[in-house]
A and B are shown apart, each in its own frame.
Chain A
Amino acid sequence: MPTEKINKVIKHKLLIVGILSLILSFICLFVFNIFFLFALFLIVFIILLVCNFIKVTRKLYDTLGTRLMLFVTVFVIFLFFLLLIILMGGSLDILREESISKIVLSSTWKPFSGEFGLFAVIMDTLIVTAISMLIAIPISVLSAIYIAEYAPKKFRNVVRPFIDVLAGVPSVVFGLCALLVLVPIVRDTVAPFFGYNIGSGFGIFTASLILSIMVFPIIISLCVESFSSVPTSLKEASLSLGATKWETVKKVIFRASGPGVLSAIFLGFGRAFGETIAVSMVIGNQEMIPKSIFGPGQTLASLIASNYNDVSSIPILASALIFVALMLFVVVLIFNLLGFLVLRRASKRWNY
């Protein structure tokens, strides 16, 4: 029978690959001294050996494959809770020393003298996120409307890929640009204009500006997507009643794509809230509430980046930073759940 022949060839191939992987694993162990790869190849060998002696039917494949997929899925859900548990466990040390209320309400952050007050940092985080969203939301929603509704098709075909590409530009590149361009502009022009002459250009306002630029591509591409998915008949119905184009946008498109715009804003908020590197490069890294928005500050995420080097000299600091990460995680969790609930309600009401 030809099928038996094929099976025999396949079996031999499996055996050959198995022996090769065994040889490779020993090479890894004795020549390169990499235990990890040795273990990997050994596992491959054992699996192939087992496959060689068990008759592999399609049913077995199906069961094994499905079980493996189930296992991986459970693993990732487990990971989600593991993240929470490990972060909680890591921050126990600091919580044993000081109460949560003291950490959150005191505003002196002096790791070297054992003071870990986060109030100022939390306030700065709120201010930076709020300013950047205030700048980003109107500008990106308006441009999204232009790109989706007003722009000629050629312009749209060029701009949409361009914005998608820029959504992937690393944050450290944005940070570098802010350092080179925004910091001098804020120092020499914007801050003196508002009567703040002593600044160095590093501050909350600069960080908010670069954050809003980073958030543009995210909000725009999601908004354009949800504006474009509004059915044409809805728009035409409004236009045929004599509404101008802007009135159609305001009264029909905004309502029909409300949930999409909301989720875009939530995503942009998450990015602005948790951005680390670009912010820590331009915010000035001082744990205080500045008197003016041009003064230096510190956000939760950039606090981790700028204090990380001292972890080895102050053991309790690591625990404090893990607590900060836990706060970031919990806030993102709460906002995502809120967004989920709002969206579920909204998509029931705005069901077009």
Chain B
Amino acid sequence: MNRRNLEEKIFLGLMLASVLIVMGSLILVVAVISINGAPSLSIEILTQTSEGNFYLGGGGGFLNAIVGSLLLSLPATGLAFLISMAIALYLQKDFLKPRTSNFIRLCLDILWGVPSVVYGVFCLAIVMALGMTRQSLILGIIALTLLEIPIITRSIDESIKMVPIGLKESAYSLGSTKFEMSMKVVRKQAMPGIIAGVLLGFGRGIGDAASILLTVGDSNYFPSSINDQTAALPTMILNLVGMPDEVVQNKAYAVAFVLLLIVLLISILTRYLAKKSSKNIIK
């Protein structure tokens, strides 16, 4: 065997080893959470709100955290979707010069890279400057919206870029205005990308702990108004893990398992919906 073939073999071995490491560690993450979390899951824990001493070994479930997480991330995703859709459509060549839209894309990329904890601190800084209550549902929604805007915008933008120019031109030649072209032709053609982007943003929003930790606080009840504090799945995991009692800590795995299930469900839904909606687009 000469040197070149030896090099080939060595690197193939290294590649296989690294694939094994990557797949092994990622499967381990899912397996560890499932094995530890699934047994402590029960109907009661899923359908009851936590009682007063939940963090000290008290009874109750974490329905308040599930509802709180949904109340945070659903409105945030909705708001972020409306804003992102407008920006992504406006970034097309029909509205803006490439120079300007590239500058906006750079800004969005930077916003995407900004750690989520910075958005939490940003909301905190605004609230402190205005002298409002420090932790509330609406503040969490704002932080998550800010977090999701760049993610959703960039993925919608990528799929809008793929819309063939001929399709736009034929819409124009039939007499449609720019706005009609965007809303009726481009939107439909980019539908798989839009769905994928929105669900990607939703997944990030529901799983993000850092921005929520600083903005929503904690509560044992369902929030009754947007000024209330609320519990959320990621912050509940953090609070549970911080407790000294081992029985309490084990509840954290159950919460994490539910969170993981939600995220996996969203991911599968994304694939399914994107496939379904891609049937209607014109190639």
Q: Which residues from chain A sit less than 8 Å from chain B, CB to CB?
A: 32-34, 36, 58-59, 61-62, 65-66, 68-70, 72-73, 75-77, 79-80, 83, 86-87, 89-90, 138-140, 142-143, 145-147, 150-151, 159, 161-166, 168-174, 176-177, 179-181, 213, 216-217, 220, 244-247, 267, 270, 273-277, 281, 301, 304-305, 308, 311-312, 318, 321-322, 324-325, 328-329, 332-333, 335-337, 340
Selected from A166, A244, A275, A277, the residue in CB contact (under 8 A) with B234 is A277
Q: Are A159 and B83 in contact (CB under 8 A)?
A: no
Q: Are A87 and B12 in contact (CB under 8 A)?
A: no
Selected from B90, B146, B209, the residue in CB contact (under 8 A) with A70 is B90
Q: Which residues of A contact B178 (CB under 8 A)?
A: 62, 66
Q: Are A216 and B200 in contact (CB under 8 A)?
A: no
Q: Is B207 in contact with chain A by the CB < 8 A criterion?
A: yes
* Contact flags B122-152 to A (C-beta < 8 A → 1, else 0): 1011101100001000100000001001000
The residue on A at minimum CB distance from B103 is A77
Q: Which residues of B contact A335 (CB under 8 A)?
A: 113
Q: Is B210 in contact with chain A by the CB < 8 A criterion?
A: yes
CB-CB under 8 A for A142 and B90, given A179-B241, A276-B115, A333-B110: no
Binds A, one of B43-51, B55-63, B252-260: B252-260
Q: Are A174 and B11 in contact (CB under 8 A)?
A: no
Q: Are B117 and A276 in contact (CB under 8 A)?
A: yes
Selected from B28, B91, B253, the residue in CB contact (under 8 A) with A176 is B253
The residue on A at minimum CB distance from B118 is A325
Selected from A79, A170, A246, A267, the residue in CB contact (under 8 A) with B259 is A170
The interface residues of chain B, by DSSP majority, are classed as helix
Question: For chain B residues 204-260, which have a beta carbon within 8 Å of chain A?
Answer: 204, 206-210, 213-214, 225-226, 234, 237-238, 241, 252-253, 256, 259-260
Q: Are B32 and A180 in contact (CB under 8 A)?
A: yes
Q: Are A77 and B237 in contact (CB under 8 A)?
A: no
Q: Which residues of B contact A181 (CB under 8 A)?
A: 28, 32
Q: Is B203 in contact with chain A by the CB < 8 A criterion?
A: yes
The residue on B at minimum CB distance from A179 is B241
Q: Which residues of B contact A273 (CB under 8 A)?
A: 115
Q: Which residues of B contact A143 (CB under 8 A)?
A: 15, 18-19, 21-22
Q: Which residues of A contact B117 (CB under 8 A)?
A: 274, 276, 301, 304-305, 325, 328
Q: Is B273 in contact with chain A by the CB < 8 A criterion?
A: no
CB-CB under 8 A for A176 and B252, given A72-B83, A276-B115, A277-B238: yes
Q: Which residues of B contact A324 (CB under 8 A)?
A: 121
Q: Are A83 and B234 in contact (CB under 8 A)?
A: no
Measured in the bound complex, the distance between the Cα atoms of B7 and A273 in whole Å is 34
Q: Is B38 in contact with chain A by the CB < 8 A criterion?
A: no
Selected from A36, A87, A146, A172, the residue in CB contact (under 8 A) with B125 is A87
Q: Are A66 and B95 in contact (CB under 8 A)?
A: yes
Selected from B109, B225, B237, the residue in CB contact (under 8 A) with A33 is B225
Question: For chain B residues 65-94, which have a beta carbon within 8 Å of chain A?
Answer: 83, 86-87, 89-91
Q: Are A34 and B115 in contact (CB under 8 A)?
A: no
Q: Which residues of A contact B12 (CB under 8 A)?
A: 150, 246
Q: Which residues of B contact A145 (CB under 8 A)?
A: 15
* Contact flags B2-17 to A (C-beta < 8 A → 1, else 0): 0011011001101110
Q: Which residues of B contact A216 (CB under 8 A)?
A: 22, 25-26
Measured in the bound complex, the distance between the Cα atoms of B5 and A290 in whole Å is 45
Q: Are A138 and B225 in contact (CB under 8 A)?
A: no
Measured in the bound complex, the distance between the Cα atoms of B11 and A335 in whole Å is 31
Q: Which residues of B contact A147 (CB under 8 A)?
A: 19
Distance between B123 CB and nearest chain A CB, rounded to angstroms: 9
Selected from A72, A161, A166, A170, the residue in CB contact (under 8 A) with B271 is A161
Distance between A39 CB and nearest chain B CB, rounded to angstroms: 12
